[in-house]
């Protein structure tokens, strides 16, 4: 009987971790969010206002202004913040910017991978419909006819929705957004 090999010895690569399911990733993100504590969702208006305020003070100006606090105890008292606390806040801000950059990169990777999956699904579906349409012509494959006809119907419905959405936004001369019944949409 063979003895199990200890893969945790120094110099041996660790086994590849298991791939997480989307549900497991969501659970881990929620757990991580609860552990951070200082996650402040902002409205679009709040975010714009804070970005505008922050952009008025470029980083070199902020750095130089912080050094003024270190040069004078009177300035530190006037500001109400000791230099150590301000430097700590600056360090935390820089480190959280790195976290935000990493999360944005992670999100772009997830979105890209999912876009590739959706494209693969669309390609597979297109092939299935094409092959099914060909096979349904033969009476031996009559069981495919209802599925092929359903796909054909759904495709027609989705094309109709696309073409009817565009003209519905156009307004007639009366401003009601409707046109007379017997007028062709391109003539109206």
Instruction: Report helix, strand and coil shares of the chain as percent, to nearest 5.
Output: 70, 0, 30
Question: What ranges do the domains of the chain cover?
Answer: 55-166
pLDDT at 162: 72
How confident is residue 72, by pLDDT bands cut at 50, 70 and 90?
confident
Model-level pTM greater than 0.75? no
Which DSSP state fits 138?
A: S
Mean pLDDT, the chain, rounded, equals 83
């Amino acid at each position: 009987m063979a003895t199990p090999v200890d893969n945790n010895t120094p110099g041996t690569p660790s086994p590849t971790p298991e791939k997480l399911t989307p549900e497991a990733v969501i659970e881990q993100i929620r757990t991580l969010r609860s552990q951070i504590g200082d996650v402040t969702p902002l409205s679009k208006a709040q975010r714009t206002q804070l970005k505008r305020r922050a952009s008025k003070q470029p980083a070199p100006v902020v750095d130089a202004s912080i050094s003024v606090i270190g040069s004078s105890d009177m300035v530190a008292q006037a500001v109400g913040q000791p230099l150590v606390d301000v430097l700590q806040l600056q360090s935390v801000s820089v480190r959280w910017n790195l976290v935000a950059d990493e999360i944005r990169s992670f999100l772009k990777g997830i979105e890209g991978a999912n876009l590739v999956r959706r494209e693969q699904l669309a390609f597979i579906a297109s092939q299935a419909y094409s092959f099914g349409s060909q096979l349904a012509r033969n009476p031996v494959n009559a069981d495919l006819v209802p599925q092929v006809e359903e796909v054909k119907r759904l495709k027609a419905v989705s094309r109709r929705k696309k073409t009817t959405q565009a003209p519905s936004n156009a307004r007639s001369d009366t401003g009601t957004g409707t046109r007379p019944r017997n007028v062709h949409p391109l003539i109206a």
